[in-house]
């Protein structure tokens, strides 16, 4: 073993999908090295970070007054700069510690939503550099997702991608390495969780926590009636008696709870198609729509969209990691990275 090589700092590149609900970090050498909730627990007395990721998410709704569990991103953009910076630093250091070599400050490709402002871009750049990055490239989420799904984004053809994340749903038509038309809505995974919480309160007079609502969505949620009825226990606090209560709910209840959000996503897809140039619409009609993001896993959603828009719809092979894998592929193609990355807001 050559100890000189171990002690020699090596340049490292990282791709980061800084999502509202989940943060993923990818390195060309090791693949996805971090896949954790974008949640941070802070001691408000000492301003100390107590936990990040899964450990912090497990604390949601269970903390004493001096411990605050926060999501520092809202709708895919930074809402709490200091906590985001600390969370990024934690994840970058975690990747560094997992390597046997001393790692110099990494080059980072980080993704942002389509409707991000210059101020929000600067916040992402500043937070990433303060967290330990040497250089930052900003790429739009749908572009990264399309690259990660191996869509021919450089070709003069219409590629339509729908990214249903935690904080927002983005619909984009991509051609010749650029986004031609797009729409964005805050109706996404987190809103679906809130739909279930609201439905439980209104229909069953049951107060349900966010984590439990998400679990119900994953286990029993759907956009279409299932072939076989699915039942799942819903646990919470009775709004009338204040006592713990458990009831059995079915997939039909959850489908009703999610119906408005599903309709909104379908409507936004149709609105995007309406403003897409005819030549690209013809390509999309032939090639179909690709779904990525956690929301793409909602059972039957692809079928509902296909029926409503009258075009083929398919789900990406690994919809949860398409964005970060696309950003990772850009790390290995410097020329293409410069072509698709946004101008730095720090230079304006």
Percent of residues, the chain, with pLDDT higher than 70? 95
Cross-strand bridge partners of residue 172 = 161, 182
CA distances from 203 to 195, 207, 224, 245 (A): 12, 11, 20, 14
Q: How far apart are CA 309 and CA 288, in angstroms?
A: 10
pLDDT band at 100 (very low <50, low <70, confident <90, very high): very low
> What are 274-305's pLDDT values in tens digits?
999 999 999 999 999 999 999 999 999 999 99
B/e letters for 264-285, b = 16+ CB within 10 Å, e = fewer, are: bbbebbeebbeebeeebbebbb
List pLDDT tens digits, range 106-148.
Answer: 999 999 999 999 999 999 999 999 999 999 999 999 999 999 9
Architecture of domain 3-38+75-143+323-347: 2-Layer Sandwich (3.30)
Does the domain at 151-187+268-318 match CATH 3.40.50.970? Answer given as no
Q: At what angle do helices 210-220 and 189-204 cross, to 10 degrees?
A: 100
Compute the distance between CA of residue 283 and CA of residue 342 in angstroms, rounded to an integer: 26
pLDDT band at 76 (very low <50, low <70, confident <90, very high): confident
Q: What is the pLDDT of residues 27-47, one digit of tens each?
A: 999 999 999 999 999 999 998
HEC string of the chain equals: CCHHHHHCCECCEEEEEECCCEEEEEECCCEEEEEEECCEEEECCCCEEEEECHHHHCCCCCCCCCEEEECCEECCEECCHHHHHHHHHHHHHHHHHCCCCCECCCEEEEEECCCCCHHHHHHHHHHHHHCCCCEEEEEEHHHHHHHHCCCCCCCCCCEEEEEECCCCEEEEEEECCEEEEEEEECCCHHHHHHHHHHHHHHHHCEECCHHHHHHHHHHHCCCCCCCCCCEEEEEEEECCCCCEEEEEEEHHHHHHHHHHHHHHHHHHHHHHHHCCCHHHHHHHHHHCEEEECHHHHCCCHHHHHHHHHCCCEEECCCCCCHHHHHHHHHHCCHHHHHHHCECCHHHC
For the chain, what is the mean pLDDT?
92
pTM: 0.91
CATH 3.30.420.40 in the chain, residues? Answer: 3-38+75-143+323-347, 151-187+268-318
Residue 210 has pLDDT above 70, yes or no: yes
Q: Cα separation of 40 and 117, whole Å? A: 24
Q: What are phi and psi of 22, to 5 degrees?
A: -140, 140
**Which residues are CB-contacts of 64 (< 8 A; sequence separation ≥ 6)?**
none
Compute CA distances 284 → 42, 279, 288, 289, 306, whole Å: 46, 9, 5, 7, 12
pLDDT in tens, 220-242: 999 999 889 999 999 999 999 99
* Pair of tokens at residue 247: 């009831």
Chain region(s) in the chain for CATH 3.90.640.10: 189-258
Model confidence at 5: pLDDT above 70: no
% of the chain with per-residue pLDDT over 90: 86
**Superfamily of domain 189-258 in the CATH hierarchy:** ATPase, substrate binding domain, subdomain 4 (3.90.640.10)
The rounded distance, in Å, linking the Cα atoms of 139 and 102 is 28
- Cα separation, 72 vs 299, in Å, equals 29
Q: What is the pLDDT of residue 12?
A: 83
């Amino acid at each position: 073993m050559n100890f000189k090589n171990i002690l020699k700092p090596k340049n490292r590149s990282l791709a980061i999908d800084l999502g509202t609900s989940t943060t993923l970090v990818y390195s060309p050498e090791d693949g996805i090295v971090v896949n954790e909730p974008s949640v941070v627990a802070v001691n408000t007395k000492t301003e100390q970070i107590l936990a990040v990721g899964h450990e912090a998410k497990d604390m949601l709704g269970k903390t004493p007054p001096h411990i605050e569990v926060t999501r520092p991103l809202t709708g895919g953009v930074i809402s709490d700069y200091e906590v985001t910076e600390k969370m990024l630093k934690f994840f970058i250091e975690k990747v560094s510690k997992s390597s046997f070599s001393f790692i110099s400050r990494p080059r980072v490709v980080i993704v942002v939503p389509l409707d991000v402002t210059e101020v929000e871009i600067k916040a992402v750049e500043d937070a990433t550099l303060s967290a330990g990055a040497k250089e930052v490239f900003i790429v739009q989420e749908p572009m990264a997702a399309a690259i990660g799904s191996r869509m021919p984004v450089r070709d003069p053809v219409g590629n339509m991608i729908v990214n249903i994340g935690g904080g927002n749903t983005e619909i984009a038509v991509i051609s010749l390495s650029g986004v031609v038309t797009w729409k964005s809505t805050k109706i996404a995974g987190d809103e679906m969780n809130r739909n279930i919480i609201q439905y439980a309160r209104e229909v069953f007079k049951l107060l349900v926590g966010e984590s439990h609502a998400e679990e119900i969505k994953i286990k029993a949620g759907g956009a279409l009636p299932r072939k076989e009825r699915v039942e799942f226990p819903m646990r919470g606090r009775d709004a009338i008696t204040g006592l713990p209560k458990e009831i059995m709910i079915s997939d039909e209840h959850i489908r009703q709870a999610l119906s408005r959000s599903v309709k909104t996503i379908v409507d936004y897809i149709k609105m995007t198609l309406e403003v897409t140039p005819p030549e690209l619409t013809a390509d999309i009609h032939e090639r179909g729509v690709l779904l990525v993001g956690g929301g793409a896993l909602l059972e039957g959603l692809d079928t509902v969209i296909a029926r409503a828009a009258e075009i083929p719809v398919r789900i990406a092979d690994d919809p949860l990691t398409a964005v970060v894998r696309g950003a990772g592929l850009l790390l290995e193609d410097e020329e293409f990275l410069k072509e698709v990355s946004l101008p730095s807001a720090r230079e304006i």
